[in-house]
Amino acid sequence: MKKMIMLMSASAMLGAAFTVHAVGDAAAGKSKATTCIACHMLDGNSLFPDYPKLAGQHFDYLIKSMKAYKGGNRKNNKIMSPIAEEYLKNESDMDDLAAYFSSQKSNSCSDKPDSDPKKVKAGKAKAAVSCTSICHGEDGNSQKSLYPKLAGQHQAYLRNSMKAYKTGVRKDPQMSPMAAFFVDEATIENFAAYFSSQKSDTCQ
């Protein structure tokens, strides 16, 4: 566990070292976001459990994700990769979209996730000893801009993401080593239930 704590801390510092500092035009981003409606909705509060909510997500993390899709480094999503290639023409497009979605309010205060209370409790206990708070915050409201907020995210999306990291389908320099925490299906289910049940600090 001590080794894992050191690894997590090192990963957090590495991520902080690569924080993106850019400014986008949220108004322009709203116009460009019409291409995202089908999966993420115009305000970023996706209604589909397999697609992530983008509303209130960190600007830098959104940029990081779009660049990963655009550059072909993130290949776990067959839908998003061609979309990134077609619509993310330049960094200005990414900056504008990130500025827009990061400025939106999460619907997690009004959304009622269908989470098993026992899984939520188990997930909270597991999160407390697995060091996820270093990057994502105790309740999933990450304060580090390159690490995503998990609070209020779709349970299915969280579950699928953890499975993708565990199997190596999705790779990330900081997150891939942390997949060691996902020891079994129950752990993944409990983490997903807990973080999806939390309220985003940007909720409306």
- Do both 190 and 126 map to the same domain? yes
Q: b vs e for 146-172, b when ≥16 Cβ sit within 10 Å of the residue's Cβ? A: bbbbbbbbbbebbbbbbbbbbeeebeb
- Do both 74 and 125 map to the same domain? no
The Cα-based distances of 159 to 1, 30, 134 in angstroms read 23, 29, 20
- Do both 97 and 113 map to the same domain? no
Tokens at residue 121, please?
A: 């409790």
- Do both 36 and 64 map to the same domain? yes
Contact 67, 18 (CB under 8 A): no
9-22 pLDDT, tens per residue? 444 444 444 555 56
Look over the chain and give the mean of its residue pLDDT values, rounded to a whole number: 88
Domain that holds residue 158: 2-13+109-197
Q: Where is the domain boundary, 102, 121, 155?
A: 102
CA dihedral 154→176→187→50, nearest 10 degrees, is 20
pTM tops 0.85, yes or no: yes
26-61 pLDDT, tens per residue? 999 999 999 999 999 999 999 999 999 999 999 999
Please calculate the CA angle 51-196-117 and round it to the nearest 5 degrees. Answer: 135
- Do both 117 and 98 map to the same domain? no
Q: Is residue 202 part of a domain?
A: no
Contact 195, 140 (CB under 8 A): yes
- Do both 43 and 87 map to the same domain? yes
- Count of domains forming the chain: 2
108-156 pLDDT, tens per residue? 998 877 789 999 999 999 998 877 888 999 999 999 999 999 999 999 9
The CATH number that applies at residue 165 is 1.10.760.10
Find, among 20, 198, 13, 150, the residue nearest to 98 by Cα. 20
77-102 pLDDT, tens per residue? 888 989 998 999 899 999 999 999 99
- Do both 77 and 126 map to the same domain? no
- Do both 83 and 154 map to the same domain? no
- Do both 114 and 170 map to the same domain? yes
